[in-house]
């Protein structure tokens, strides 16, 4: 398991890919609720997709030997819907995932990934299915993600990707960890506080 977590600018990611097929994969499936009984995220990497993996008895993409060490995940529509649990992207990250490409993402999941430094990019259904087929045909091939070009490529095939400008800038500049930016504005935060009627006796 890759325990060197994202840090700073994220302009390129290189590695092998893995696919999870299906629409509306919810965060309960990514990490079942019983694993949320913890005060630290550290053990989650082993528990990602626990119930799906148990059902497939070693044949789940996250168990197949050849997929170990992959760091790019290709998914379909509305990935990460449901619960806001950051445990879901944490479990993917601690398994080793550093980039997710899909048809679309649930909003809270997308934001949670952003806060961890894991880009989530989209492409059309046709492009995603093509990518999934290519990945599954040969899971040893190395894929190159390039943020500036918004593309992923295996030398022969290149797929164009989409990322909104805000998230793009955050990964490009390395400012995806919002805390320090937010803290910079202490004076403006206090001013906003002072202008809110409900925090100032409705004056």
Partner 1 sequence: MSSRTLYDKVWNFHQVKDLPGGSTQLFIGLHLIHEVTSPQAFSALNEKKLGVKFPNLTVATVDHIVPTSNQQRPFSDPLAEEMLATLEKNCKTHGIKFHGIGSNSQGVVHVMAPELGLTQPGMTVACGDSHTSTHGAFGAIAFGIGTSQVRDVLASQSLAMNKLKVRRIWVEGELQKGVYAKDLILHIIRHLGVKGGVGFAYEFAGPAIEKLSMEGRMTICNMAIEGGARCGYINPDETTFKYIKGKEHAPKGQEWDKAISWWKSLASDSTATFDDEIQLDGSSIEPTVTWGITPGQGISIKETIPNPELLPKNEQQIAKDACKYMNLKPDEPIEGQSIDVCFIGSCTNGRLSDLQEASKIVKGNTVAAGIRAFVVPGSQKVAKEAKEKGLDKIFLKAGFEWREPGCSMCLAMNPDKLEGRQISASSSNRNFKGRQGSANGRTLLMSPAMVAAAAINGKVTDVRKFL
Of 37-45, 66-74, 137-145, 151-159, which segment contacts partner 1 by CB under 8 A? 37-45
Residue nearer to partner 1 on the CB measure, 51 or 144: 51
With binding defined as CB under 8 A, does residue 94 bind partner 1?
A: no
Contact 152, 173 (CB under 8 A): no
Q: Are 68 and 14 in contact (CB under 8 A)?
A: no
167-196 residues in contact with partner 1 (CB under 8 A) are 167-170, 173, 175, 178-179, 181-183, 185, 188-189, 192-193, 195-196
d(CA 59, CA 66): 11
CA 8 to chain centre: 16
* 65/196 with CB nearer partner 1: 196
Asked if 23 touches partner 1 (CB under 8 A), the answer is yes
> Is 78 near partner 1 (CB under 8 A)?
yes
Indicate the residue among 17 and 27 with the shorter CB distance to partner 1. Answer: 27
User: Minimum distance from CB of 155 to partner 1 (Å)?
Assistant: 31
Whether 134 and 157 have beta carbons less than 8 Å apart is answered as yes
Binding flag, residue 162, partner 1 (CB under 8 A): no
Cα distances from 6 to residues 61, 66, 80, 82, 148, in angstroms, run: 23, 24, 20, 25, 18
Smaller CB distance to partner 1: residue 17 or 112?
112
Residues 130-159 that bind partner 1 (CB under 8 A): none
Q: Which is nearer to partner 1, 37 or 156 (CB)?
A: 37
Q: Helix (H) and strand (E) counts for the chain?
A: 8, 8
Buried-state track 89-126, b at ≥16 Cβ within 10 A, e below 16: bbbbbbbbbbbbbbbbbbebbbbbbbebbbbbbbbeee
183/164 Cα distance (integer angstroms):
24
CA separation for the pair 182, 76 (Å, rounded)? 33
* Contacting positions for partner 1 (CB under 8 A): 22-24, 26, 28-29, 32-34, 36-41, 51, 54-55, 77-78, 81-87, 89, 104, 106-108, 111-112, 115-116, 164-170, 173, 175, 178-179, 181-183, 185, 188-189, 192-193, 195-199, 201-203
């Amino acid at each position: 398991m890759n325990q060197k977590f994202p840090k700073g600018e994220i302009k390129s990611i290189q590695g092998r890919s893995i696919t999870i097929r299906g629409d509306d994969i919810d965060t309960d499936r990514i990490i079942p609720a019983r694993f949320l009984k913890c005060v630290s995220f550290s053990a989650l990497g082993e528990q990602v997709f626990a119930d799906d993996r148990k059902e497939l008895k070693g044949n789940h993409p996250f168990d197949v030997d050849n997929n170990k060490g992959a760091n790019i995940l290709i998914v379909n529509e509305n990935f990460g819907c449901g619960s806001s649990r950051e445990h879901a992207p944490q479990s993917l990250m601690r398994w080793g995932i550093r980039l997710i490409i899909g048809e679309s993402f649930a909003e809270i999941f997308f934001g949670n990934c952003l806060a961890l430094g894991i880009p989530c990019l989209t492409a059309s259904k046709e492009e995603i299915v093509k990518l999934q087929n290519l990945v599954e045909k040969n899971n040893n091939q190395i894929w190159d993600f390039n943020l500036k070009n918004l593309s992923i490529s295996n030398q022969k095939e290149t797929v164009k990707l989409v990322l909104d400008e805000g998230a793009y800038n955050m990964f490009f500049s390395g400012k995806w960890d919002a805390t320090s930016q937010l803290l910079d504005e202490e004076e403006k935060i206090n001013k906003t506080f002072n202008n809110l009627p409900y925090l100032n006796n409705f004056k």
